[in-house]
Amino acid sequence: MDMQFDLAQKARGDAGMAAMMTPAAGSCSAGYCDRCEVRDQAVCADLNPQERAALNRIGRRVTLQAGQTVMWEGDDSMIVANVIEGTLKLATSTGDGREQIVGVVYASDFIGRPFGARTPHSVTALTDARLCLYPRGAFDGFAREHPQLEHRLLQRTLDDLDRTRAWMLLLGRKNAREKVASFLLDMSRRLRADASGVIDLPLSRQQIADILGLTIETVSRQISDMKRLGVIALAGRRGVRICDANRLESMAEGE
């Protein structure tokens, strides 16, 4: 059974992380990997059934509610996790105490800092989320004994580096329309749409503005313009339907 754990009153340090890994968290059942929605995309994809079962035994399945934090910037690197469902933000603090979102992770992504001493950023659920969570030390030991898992981790690291470089281009060279269009394209590729084609954005417009280095007024204006042009349609507070993907791609590339 999934564990619902409340981190609102977080206990930082070893005691807090140890509590997260108690048996009450619920070790994954033997057949859990067979039913996992992201089994073929996660870092464990190349493991055989016996190896997955062994990894399963050192992990716990946990459930986060939107707004809950599972890792804190600067803390000892105590845990790592596969994201099974949901969307989470990676955030760091500026010198004056403001939060800066530096990334967004989705189902099948891997979070945490294996083989590292400190957590470089906080990780907080933007939506309800499910994770396969592992003690970092035990996971590191397992990865050293299974080169295919280490290879997957390296591949993920290089993919993250590529995305970071692309993001630097977006922030440094693209104008406001190109930034917002690029963001919406990324969301449409990573988030599952409902039956009517609507994706529910996990970020508020203020958060989108912070990520893109824009003001909330600029983000709202660009979204309104795209709606007026028939490129997107809006549904509710955060729902977006991509009506003309080709036009949106052209906008992202600076038509």
- 175-252, CATH topology level: Arc Repressor Mutant, subunit A (1.10.10)
Residues (pLDDT < 50) of the chain are: 1-25
Query: Where do the DSSP E strands lie in the chain?
Result: 3-4, 60-64, 69-71, 79-85, 88-93, 99-105, 110-112, 122-125, 129-135, 198-200, 232-235, 239-242
pLDDT at residue 139, as a whole number: 95
| All structural domains of the chain with their residue ranges | 3-167, 175-252
CATH, domain range 3-167: 2.60.120.10
pLDDT, tens digit (0-9, with 9 covering 90-100), for 126-136: 999 999 999 99
State phi, psi for 138 to the nearest 5 degrees.
Answer: -65, -40
> Model's pTM, two decimal places?
0.78
pLDDT at residue 14, as a whole number: 42
Amino acid at 31: G
